[in-house]
Amino acid sequence: MRPRSLLTLAALLPVTLLAACGTTDVPAAAPAASSAPASSGPITVTDGRGKSVTLPAPATRVVSLEWNTTEDVITLGVQPTGVADIKGYGSWVTASPITGTPVDVGTRTEPSLESVAEAEPDLIIGIVGSVPESAMEQMEKIAPVVLLTGADAKRPIELMKENFTTTAKLLGKDAEASTVLADLDAAVAAGKQKIADAGKAGTPFSLSYISAEGNSFSLRMHGPGSFAIAVASQLGLTPAWTEAGDEGWGLSTLDIEGLTTLPAGTEFGYWGNADTEDPLADLTTNKLWQSLDFVKNERVHKMGVGIWIYGGPASAKQWISDVTGAVAQ
């Protein structure tokens, strides 16, 4: 989510609404870490700003300014020399862990020019909005900057794959990318079959992030265009929450009373990380919550623990495992 209020949503999520859940297995097809590109020669891409960026050769020293780009770089077998918000990444993104000792280049919305320069990159990669306009000229003096589109609720899965293949091209890792994406497609097919075998095809599925302030609760609902629900739809589930939400991330805000509109039979997932307080503890005495169909019938699932549901193919595989495990049990 990133046009200033929404543009920085992904960056603020761990604080506001993005938490993580699910299994923590690393995708089997993820290439082993390596700094050597599979090909050489000039590389030109058009990034999310519509800007053409050329590298003289595949990048081997990468500074990543956003969690999803960091994940993709590592999934493709390259450990970044610089990463924004290393601590947060380690908590929220377990699919492709950092194993090297990159420079911490600051926050995802305000990277440090000095720290970026210290990492001596030959590529700086992030999403549109990662670099403040006031710092862009100086950033581009350090290394070529590629900023990808962060989110598009009209085509979340297609955008994820495009960003991944663009990153692979910049690293000279096209073959590795093809393997990872083929493995993801296989995981979708297997997950869909598991849902069908359990007799759960077409089941309404919902995901929210619940915030509590005293006796007041706010839910960030993931609509059909959110990446998490788009993946669940590929598995044969039906979006229980049908409001479109914002144009980037497909998110909207709801209160507890609004949950009464979810259809009967809904499997209700709520996103929470290992180091965040479980909001359900505050809902045990909420009569409206306790009256909800999915609560009474024990179809409430804490999900996405350690899974960045706004990430790339590696996190998507974890999410597939998490969803099928919750719904097809």
For domain 183-327, which CATH number applies: 3.40.50.1980, 3.40.50.300, 3.30.1330.20, 2.60.120.260? 3.40.50.1980
Question: Would you state the pLDDT for residue 143?
Answer: 98
Residue 276: per-residue pLDDT: 80
Q: State residue 8's pLDDT score.
A: 38
Consecutive H or E run containing 104: strand 103-104
Q: Where are the domains of the chain?
A: 30-178, 183-327
d(CA 316, CA 186): 12
How far apart are the C-alpha atoms of 52 and 228, rounded to whole Å?
A: 30
Which pLDDT tens digit goes with each residue over 282-326? 888 899 999 999 999 999 999 999 999 999 999 999 999 999 999
DSSP state of 17: T
Residue with tokens 């974890």: 318
- Give pLDDT < 70 ranges for the chain: 1-39
3-state secondary structure 187-229: HHHHHHHHHHHCCCCCCEEEEEEEEEECCEEEEEEECCCCHHH
Classify domain 30-178 at the CATH superfamily level.
Nitrogenase molybdenum iron protein domain (3.40.50.1980)
183-327 and 30-178 share a CATH fold: yes
Secondary structure of residue 252 in the 3-state scheme: strand
How many other CB atoms are found less than 10 A from the CB of residue 80? 26
pTM, full prediction: 0.87
